[in-house]
Amino acid sequence: MGEITERNGSICQLVPELLSSFVDTFVDYSVSGLFLPNFNSNPNSTSSPTILQTHCPPPDRLVAIGDLHGDLEKSQEAFRLAGLIDSNGKWIGGSTTVVQIGDVLDRGSEELKILYFLEKLKREAAKSGGSIISMNGNHEIMNVKGDFRFVTKKGLDEFKNWADWFTIGNHMKALCKELKKPKDPFSGIPAVFPGIKKEFVDGFRARIAALQPNGPIATRFLSQNLTVLVIGDSVFVHGGLLAEHVDYGLDRINKEVRDWICGLKGRQPPSYVIGRNSLVWLRKFSDELAKNCDCSALEHTLATIPGAKRMIMGHTIQKSGINGVCSNKAIRIDVGMSRGCTNGLPEVLEINKNSTIQILTSNPLYLSKEKPYLDANRMDGLGVLVPEQGPKQVEVKA
C-alpha cells in the first residue's frame, strides 16, 4: 500500500487537477452510468455563483415538460415525444429551448439518474444552440430543507449508492497531498434519527449530505435551477405567481433561492417558497374546474409583468391532460406521468416563435386524429387551448 500511495503521490505532483477530474468522472459513471467529463466545481466555495437569467427572448421552438418525480423512463418518453432525443437518449432537438417545470425529486427511484440525464442533455443541447432550463418545484425546496415525507425506499437506496461512491472518490483525492482535502458532506449529520427505522438511516443520512444547503448534489445540480422564468410572453413557475412576488422582484427571488441552496443564506428557505401561497405550492390557478380558479388574481399578476400573456405551471396533476383555464392565461402541464404519481401518459407543451401553442401527446386515443382540448367527457368550464388545426401527434416508442 505504501508503494501505491507513493506512486499516486508522484502522479498528483504532475497533474492534480487531472486526477481530481478523473475521480469525479469515475464517481459520476458509477452512480448514473453516464460520463460527464470536465465538470468544474468547487464544493468548498462560499462565493455567490454567476447571475441566473430570469428573462429570455422567445426561441424558435420552446418545449415545456411537467413534473418528473423520479421516473427516468417516463422522463425520457417525454423528451422523445417532443423529438428532443433519439432512441439512445442523445440530443437531437437542435436549437430548441426546453423548460422542465420542477419536481424531479421524490416519489420515484431514479431521481439522481434524471439529474445526471438532464445535465448530459444540457451539454449536448448547448453544442447545437439549444438549451434546457431546470426549475425548482416544491419537492426540490423540501429536500434541500430536509423534508423527506415523499421519499421512497428505492430513492433512499439510490442516494446511499451515491454516497458510497462519493466517499470512495474523496478517499482517492485524499491520497494527493497537492489537492485540498475534500470536505466531508456527512460532517455534523447525526448517526441516529428518532422515528427512522434502522434500515433507512444510511439512506437518510446520504440524502441529507447530498441535498442540504451547499451539499454536493444541491450545489452541482439544483443551484442553477430557476424559481421563476419569463420567456417571451410566457411566465413559468412551478406552483403559481402572485403580484406580491412580482413586486418583491423576480431576479431577486432567483438569486436568493440559489444562494440558499448554495449555503449562503442559512438553513431555512426564503418565506416565498414555503406555505400555500408560495411560488412552488400555490394552487389558485390549478383546479381542474375553471370556476375554482382565481382568474382575477392571475390577470392582475400577468399585468404586472411587461408583455406577459400566460402563466405555465406544474405541481397539480391534471387528470385530463395538459389544459388551460382563465381564457388560456393559465396553462397546467403536470400530467402525473411518473409511476410514483398516477402513471399518466406523457404530454408536453410546445410553443412556437409566433406564440402558437400545441399539446404533444402520447395518448393512443388521439394518435389518428386531432386531440381536442375539450370533449363531451371533460369537466365543464374549461376553455380551448390548442389551435383549430390541432396539435402535432407523436407516438412514444416502447
| DSSP bridge partners of 147 | none
Name the residue with higher pLDDT: 41 or 388: 41
**CB-CB contact of 348 with 392 (8 Å):** no
Residue 112: alpha-carbon gap to chain centroid: 11
Rg (CA), the chain: 22
Q: Cα 204–35–21 angle (5° rounding)? A: 85
pTM (2 d.p.): 0.87
- Judge contact between 176 and 21, C-beta under 8 A: no
Who has greater pLDDT, 35 or 134?
134
H/E element holding 219?
A: helix 216-220
pLDDT tens digits, 193-239? 998 999 999 999 999 999 999 999 999 999 999 999 999 999 999 99
Lowest mean per-residue pLDDT among 138-142, 221-225, 284-288 = 284-288
Is 139 catalytic? The answer is: yes
* Choice among 139, 238, 245, 315 that is catalytic: 139
The grid cell for 186 is: 456527512
pLDDT tens digits, residue range 342-393? 999 999 999 998 899 999 998 877 654 444 443 323 332 222 233 333 333 3
- Amino acid code (one letter) for 299: E
Q: What is the DSSP letter of 169?
A: H
Q: Which residue's entry shows cell 430548441? A: 96
Q: Does residue 177 have a pLDDT over 90?
A: no
What percent of the chain has a predicted confidence (pLDDT) above 90? 71
